[in-house]
Amino acid sequence: MIDLVSSPRRAQNMRSSVLGLGVGFGLCILLLPPCSALAAPGAPHPCASKTAPAQRLACYDRAFPPQANAAEATVHSAERAVVDEFGLSRAQIREADPERAGPTAITARITSISALGKGRRVLSLDNGQTWVLTEATARGRLANGDPVTIRSAALGSFMLLTEAGVALRVRRLR
């Protein structure tokens, strides 16, 4: 239940409290030394005068020691990013952060071709990746040393493009 008699009094007390906080904050700002006084432009840090890189780095490390939890914070932020991206499509991730989305295509050379059952072929590339053609087809002549481009396709699939421009559907094994 609202107490109508003391409500205006509470409102007045609240206004004066907020006003007091604002005035106090303003005085604190005015009493702080200006940033230019803290770091004068003509006075470089003593570590800047060190000529040897190792000595200069050691000096700066002593003056500004690294935070103990910096590596732990990096791990937690990486875990957080994985959880935040869960359920998003590649297009949504690329839209949110273009730098994290990764490449949409790679170019490499075939180092070996081996046959898999039912007419499918396994391709090893010079970048260490292994891909399998998901469709048994005679299209697209492939030989060791041939350059190929693998690009993202619809619904999370990938297409291998031969030098002749033939597109073959592939899936990455390793």
- Rounded to whole angstroms, the Cα distance separating 20 from 24 reads 6
Quick one: pLDDT at residue 4?
47
- The CATH number fitting domain 105-172, selected from 2.160.20, 2.40.50, 3.30.1490, 3.40.50: 2.40.50
The DSSP secondary-structure symbol of 29 reads H
27 burial (CB, 10 Å; 0-12 / 13-18 / 19+) is exposed
- Rounded to whole angstroms, the Cα distance separating 8 from 12 reads 6
53 burial (CB, 10 Å; 0-12 / 13-18 / 19+) is exposed
- Rounded to whole angstroms, the Cα distance separating 132 from 114 reads 9
Return the domain boundaries, the chain: 45-100, 105-172
Which amino acid, residue 97? Answer: D
What would the pLDDT profile of 86-122 be if each residue is shown by its tens digit?
777 767 777 777 776 677 889 999 999 998 877 789 9
Is the pLDDT reported for residue 154 higher than 60?
yes
What would the pLDDT profile of 5-51 be if each residue is shown by its tens digit?
455 665 565 555 555 555 555 555 655 555 444 455 566 888 888 88
Residue 110 contacts residue 123 (beta carbons within 8 Å): yes
pLDDT band at 1 (very low <50, low <70, confident <90, very high): very low
pLDDT band at 82 (very low <50, low <70, confident <90, very high): low
Cα separation values, 118 from 23, 111, 112, 121, 157, Å: 81, 22, 19, 9, 21
